[in-house]
Every structure is written in C-alpha cells, then in structure tokens.
Homo-oligomer: A and B are copies of this chain.
Amino acid sequence: MIKRTKGVTISQVADAAGVARSSVSRAFTRPDMLSPETVDRILRAAETLGYVPNHTARALSTGRHGNIGLIVPDIANPFFPPLIQAAQTEADRSDFCVFLGNTAESPKQEDKLVGRFAGQVEGLVLASSRLSDERIRAHARQLPLVLINRDIEGIPRVLIDSSAGVRQAVEHLANLGHRRIAYVSGPAASWSNKQRRSAIRAGTTARGMELSIIPTPAPTYQAGREAVASVLQTGASAVVAFDDLTAQGILTGLAERNIVVPRDFSIIGCDDVLGAMTFPALTSVSNHSADVGRIAISMLLDILRSRSVADVRYALDTKLVIRDTTAQAPGR
C-alpha cells in the first residue's frame, strides 16, 4: 500500500512565506513583477512544502489549459506514428500536452472524440479526417481546428500533395512499357485517395493507358492482400496502391500466387513509410508525415497565440522514390 502526497495549495505557501496568495501566484507566472528577494522566499517555501501549481484551477481561471488534441484514423498505420511523434515534439516545445485520439476509421467515433476533447483542449488537429465537410465545419465553429490531408476552404490545412509524385509513378510505369495498370484505392472519405486517384486517371488517360480502380475497405496490409485477386482479373501488369501498407499486402498476395515482383509484376506504393523494409524494397511516392505533423501543430499554436484564423493552405510536394518493385513490363 503506497500513500500519496496531498495537494499543497497556494495559500499554504503564502502563509509559509508570509505573503499574499496573489504574490505566490505571481512568483510562478510573472516573477518579474516581484522583487527578486520575494520571489526567492516564495519559491523556497514552495519547494519545502512540495507545492505544485494546480493545472485545473489555473485552467478554470485563465481559460487556457495548454492542451491540444490530435485525432488520427489508425494509429497502427505506419504513416501516423512519425506524424504523431513530430506533433508531440512540436507541442512540447511550447509546453503543450497532446491528447491523442484514434477513430479506427469510423466517422462516428471521430465525432465522439472531437466532442470529448473539445472541452479540454484549446485546439484540435484532425489528421486524414473521415468526417463530412459539414461536420468538420461545425466543429471548427466550436474550437480552433487544423486539418491534415483534408482540403476545406476557410479552415487551416496542411496537405501532402501527391499529384506530382503519382504523376511520376505513372510516367515511370509507362516508360517501362506497362499499358494496363490498376489503382488499389483507399478509403472513400479520404482526400488523399481522391487526389491520388484523379492524378492517376489523368496520367493514364494522357498516355492512352488503361486503368482499373480496385476498391478496398480500409488501407491495411490485409486489404491489400485480398485485393490481389481483383487486380489480377483486370489483366494489369502493374499496380499503384493507395499507401505502402496496402502495397505490402499486395506484395504478399502476389508472392502467394508465385508471381515474382518485379519480373512478372510491378508495384508502387504511396507515403514511403516502409522504406526499404519490404522485400523487394518498395518503390513509393515520397512522404512528409513527420513534417506535416510538425507544421500542423505549429500552425495551430500560431492560431492560439494570435487568436485569429487565417485561411492557410500549406501544401507539400512529393516525388517518386524508385526502388526494386518496378521493372520492364513482362513480355517486352
């Protein structure tokens, strides 16, 4: 049985130091308003009593609690951990704590989390939100919001613009002689998915290539693996996947059918989070997940500081990273 120390309050410190409560408060928040000796005496008293400012009381009084929220659809997707980590580090630099929420790809859960967080955070970052524009706008009326990979006018947002990278991917495949390719798509509600899909469509159309779209329930290893059957039915010789995780699943699905990559089939991922960790090393569209996390938080903190919301749209460029899963189309 462990006994716990109780909360020492500002009054006890004030008594011990022989000053008013407000002076104690100042010693911690605006020491420059007090004489150095007084500050010293107070701090010393606080130290011996083991006083720690009560965060909640301070928050009630100031209306600021130094917390921000970060909501992601799937923390287990390797795209997010670096983003989360960077966000955390950036928040830390300004002495903010971050609440993390995982929606498991469910808009309903996302709505619930936003509501739950709203009361205890000063602002929120929604990464790859699966909510409708209306819901997001509604939430933005309640508290400062920054979006990641979601493009809604009037709401600050930071985007990974995959179009350039995806265009290069199509070009790369075309140069290798592929004429018929497939896109294994991501969540319907995903802005990134829409963006990637239309970039591919534009690229293939421009080059007279044939394109098939294969839907998946969610961007996971398993979904990729299960998509392989459909992919093969299209007669495609190469595939671009919504993300690396899906691509990795496809890699396995192909291996299970003894289809050798890249000899028999080429594959390109997006996000480049698996780096060279797959076998063969995955060709992928570059990633900025950490940058995006850092930037989103820094934007949010700016907004909190300035108390004003500019309509910022921060887009990061991408490019194709060629590794070992793409090669000449078979039979050429």
Residues of A within 8 A of B (CB): 1-5, 52-57, 59-60, 65, 67, 75-76, 78, 81-82, 84-85, 88, 95, 97-102, 104, 116-120, 140-144, 154-155, 221, 248, 251-252, 255, 276-279, 308-309
Contact = CB atoms under 8 A, between A and B. Distances in A.
Contacts of A67: 120
Given A52-B118, A255-B279, 17 more contacts: A2-B309, A4-B141, A4-B143, A5-B142, A54-B119, A55-B120, A56-B60, A56-B120, A60-B60, A75-B81, A81-B81, A88-B101, A97-B117, A248-B277, A251-B279, A252-B276, A279-B279
Interface of chain A, main secondary structure: mixed
24 contacts: A2-B140, A2-B155, A2-B309, A4-B142, A53-B119, A56-B60, A56-B65, A57-B60, A67-B120, A75-B81, A75-B84, A78-B78, A84-B102, A85-B102, A85-B104, A95-B116, A97-B99, A97-B116, A100-B100, A221-B277, A248-B277, A252-B276, A252-B277, A278-B279
Contacts of A54: 60, 119
Contact of A82 (B56, B76, B88): B76
Please give the count of copies of this chain that the complex contains. 2
Contacts of A88: 100-102
